[in-house]
Chains A and B, each alone.
Chain A
Amino acid sequence: MDIRRIETPLVEDEISVLRSGDRVLLTGYVYTARDVAHKRFVDVLAAGEPLPVDISGQVIYYCGPSPPRPGRIIGAAGPTTSSRMDVYTPALLSLGLKGMIGKGKRSESVKEAIMLHKAVYFGATGGAGALLSQNVLSYEIIAYADLGPEAVARLYVRDLPLFVVNDSFGNDLYEMGESTFRTT
């Protein structure tokens, strides 16, 4: 399979080369945030305050890892279902968020926002928690530590194996794939 190596922070030139279905190995810093963290982001923005993280050009990984064994950086680190974060996403994209990693389909408004702001949504394989954890070289809680595994953390990943699900042109790997292979 053809593999593209890309790095964070993501730039538009790089993003516009990506197409749904591409196999990508991602290196660089990504930030974890799930439902509660996203809600807090939106509340913070509504109050006119800055986010605890500068997300411009960055990638958010929807992940709440399992606790690490002693001496390990992180436990199993697979993706959680992205749709729960859909309602918060267009606002973050408008602030410069360029990539998201998760699993499952996004809503139409998220897909439109991805096209509008030239961003990309990657899929990490659900249930491949051990494999994905191997690509995490550091884990540091940045904000909302009270949320435990759902805190906002900064991870340094190397060659994190992903698929491009929604590219910046409106393509959707879930739709393309099902449409190609559905025979009923």
Chain B
Amino acid sequence: MEKRTTKEELLARAAKPARDAMQMHPHYRGKIEVVPKCVIRDIDDFAVWYTPGVAETSKDIKKNPEMVFQHTNKANMVAIVTDGTRVLGLGNVGPLAALPVMEGKALLFKYLGGVDAFPLCLDTTDADELIKTVKYLCPTFGGINLEDIENPKCFYVLERLRREAPIPVWHDDQQGTAAVTVAGLINALKVVGKRMEDVRIALIGVGAANVCIARMLIKAGVDPRKMMIVDSKGILSARRDDIDRNTHKEKWDLSRMTNGEGRDGTMEEAIAGKDVLIALSEPGPEVIKKAWITTMTDDAVVFVCANPIPEIWPWEAREAGARVVATGRSDFANQVNNSVGFPAIFRGVLDVMARTITDEMCLAAAAELARCAEDKGLSEDYILPSMDEWEVFPREAVAVAKKAMEQGVARLRLTEKELFAMAEQKIRRARDEVGVLMEKGIIRPNEECP
């Protein structure tokens, strides 16, 4: 049973990491740096790594472009690209202010997935300029992770880059959140004994995450007619004439496909009678009222993932009859945490040099993530693994790699054993590296801030 707490206590609890961050960041002046990967025994090695030796590799790649994956780190390099227009819960803070957040993302990519990720905060908010820039950057990277780009621009940018970029592109806020949420739902439904095909779902919020979640849920078998999606003006329906098809195409499509009864109404009316509630909207705790949860069906599943305070306190949702509750916070049970998604998914994508990241690959990741939790025993309080369960990452990477091979988008074909060994080795290496640097005192602890 989670500890009850007040908004003040929660905010106070969040204050400590905030204080620490302001102290620790200036101490280290950045969280990532460039470190050599090859031996440097003496000055003579530079004749191999640089001129004149490296010219041979350049010639080789000019003749056989695929050799770039052999001669460079491109296969393991991912660019984290943002324009800073929708950073965490802060909104449009711009590219400079986004930099520490992107460095943090790079840290998670490396530590959890062994992926070398590099932040690129771009000084443009124009979608077409963004797209052009990312395409120009592709030679250096094995994949692109779009991050914190505002909606609806992010849909257009992702769709175009998926089509036009020669390397896999994905948007963690969309596909990453969707993969982890779907994984949680798979398990939550197992706990309450309901089927994807049968459930009625209310989705609150039509941001990047929920639009992608809706799409993934339909692919996972949910009947779109049994879904209701709610934005600030109410339930999406074909009768809503305030949705512009040209600027908000995804929302428009959803308004046509979902809500089979064609009902208009408020959030409260949308939630009534539903089996599942997935909210990714305004921070709470009063956004979703306790009374509304009581109008849901028995054994309701409630995911309230607003940042930093969920739309309703999880214990209140439980008191109102919800049987499985998840939030975005680590201090409550069932954290829907993107960090158990993107590092593993990219690991798998890069290890088979997949050309793209398909929805099916995301669903395969979700299914494996769900299975990892299931193997440990599901319960109302345990539907998703946490970041510290190291086995999750190579397992999920392998599932994604297998799906890529199955779909014919993988450039390499490897056995399951080989894939697992590769993923595990790369992740372990990243952990060991940091460990060695800390042991040797090259990364010093911050005495003022233990």
Name A's B-contacting residues (CB within 8 A).
1-2, 19, 21, 179-183
Contact = CB atoms under 8 A, between A and B. Distances in A.
Contacts of A179: 359
Interface string B310-333: 000000000000000000000000
B238 interface: yes
Contacts of A183: 219-221
A1 B239 CA distance: 10
A10 to B, nearest CB: 20
A182 B219 contact: yes
A181 B256 CA distance: 15
Interface of B: 215, 218-221, 238, 245, 249, 253, 256-257, 359-360
B201 to A, nearest CB: 16
B245 A180 contact: no
A122 to B, nearest CB: 18
A2 B252 CA distance: 12
B238 A2 contact: yes
Most buried by B among A21, A179, A181, A183: A183
Contact of A180 (B215, B238, B249): B215
Contacts of B219: 180-183
A19 B244 CA distance: 13
A158 B359 CA distance: 41
B361 to A, nearest CB: 13
Contacts of B220: 183
Given A179-B359, A183-B221, 5 more contacts: A1-B256, A2-B238, A19-B245, A180-B219, A183-B219
19 contacts: A1-B238, A1-B256, A2-B238, A2-B256, A19-B245, A19-B249, A21-B253, A179-B359, A180-B215, A180-B218, A180-B219, A180-B257, A181-B218, A181-B219, A182-B219, A182-B360, A183-B219, A183-B220, A183-B221
A181 B220 CA distance: 9
B195 to A, nearest CB: 13
Nearest to B222: A183
A2 B241 CA distance: 11
B304 to A, nearest CB: 27
Contacts of A1: 238, 256
A103 B126 CA distance: 38
A181 B221 CA distance: 8
